[in-house]
Amino acid sequence: MQSNLNDRATFLEESFLLSSTADLSQKRLWQDALQRHLRAFEKGAHFVHEGENWSFVVCVLDGWLTLSKSLDTGQVQILDFAMHNDIVEPTAGDGRTAIFNVQAQTDGVAAVIPLPVWSALLHDLPPLAQLVYATEAAVRSRRAERTLRLGKGSAEMRVAHALVEFCIRLGDRCGEVFHVPLTQQALGDFLGLSSVHVCRTTRRLSRAGILELTDHMDIRVLEPHKLADLAGLDPQMFRREIMPGAK
């Protein structure tokens, strides 16, 4: 999908689908809410900075958002990337403070829904509440797996895990060319590695015939099972854990 609002119907038809238990009126209510709050964003745009007041939920229909925290020294840790069908709610326990930075990594489209409207939707639409629960469970699963590797894994394991995660979240693209819209520095900030370490690791995987790299982080995973082995993952189980509704 292109990151503009010229074809709203396409964005809405392919995003945040409610379960088969939802009736037509519920689906229309949800689609209308998404459409009312739809907005395009440009690469580099800030939705909110850590510590600012914030009272919205961001439903990503297209593009990538970076979720990060930073130290006073300027060091950045990327916590996650939100992409198609991800829901971002960065509000702290006080109900008003953003706990991390939300910035556009690419151009894209999102529905930015005020918290009072969001709360009413969850109350009125049980199928939406079910979708949100499943989405949050998927986020917990992928962050838990990544945290384990950040704490205990080698650079090779961390990079392999990130690539398996990306190719699954981008539509099971292992074996195809898929674009990771990240610099080596950004990937390093995600994995707790230097950009030099990321470069050396991806080159080593390329020389081993596991993946193929072209310019601007276009990647073809040539040996998905070997990449999953390096990541310490069962790809089918991992897919079920991080993709709501996957079987």
pLDDT digits (tens, 9 = 90+) for 55-84: 999 999 999 999 999 999 999 999 999 999
Q: At residue 172, does pLDDT exceed 50?
A: yes
Asked if 99 and 90 touch (Cβ cutoff 8 Å), the reply is: yes
Q: Taking the CB of residue 140, how many other CB atoms lie within 10 A of it? A: 12
* Structural domains present in the chain: 8-137 (2.60.120.10), 153-242 (1.10.10.10)
Per-residue burial over 105-118, b = 16 or more CB atoms within 10 Å of its CB, e = otherwise: bbbbbbbebeeeeb
Confidence of residue 246 (pLDDT cuts 50, 70, 90): low
Q: Give pLDDT, residue 1.
A: 44
Tell me the average pLDDT across 148-173. 93
Are β-strands 38-41 and 87-88 bridged in parallel, bridged antiparallel, or unpaired?
A: unpaired
Q: At residue 118, does pLDDT exceed 90?
A: yes
Tell me the average pLDDT across 39-47. 96
Burial of 184 (0-12, 13-18, 19+ CB in 10 A): middle
Residue that wins the pLDDT comparison between 155 and 7: 155
Q: Kindly report the CA angle at 68 between 151 and 101, in degrees rounded to 5? A: 155
pLDDT digits (tens, 9 = 90+) for 187-241: 999 999 999 999 999 999 999 999 998 766 788 899 999 999 999 999 999 999 9
Q: Which pTM does this prediction carry? A: 0.92
Q: Kindly report the CA angle at 183 between 224 and 86, in degrees rounded to 5? A: 65
Distance of CA 188 to the CA centre of its chain: 16
Q: Give pLDDT, residue 2.
A: 45
pLDDT digits (tens, 9 = 90+) for 10-25: 667 778 999 888 999 9
Q: Give pLDDT, residue 7.
A: 60
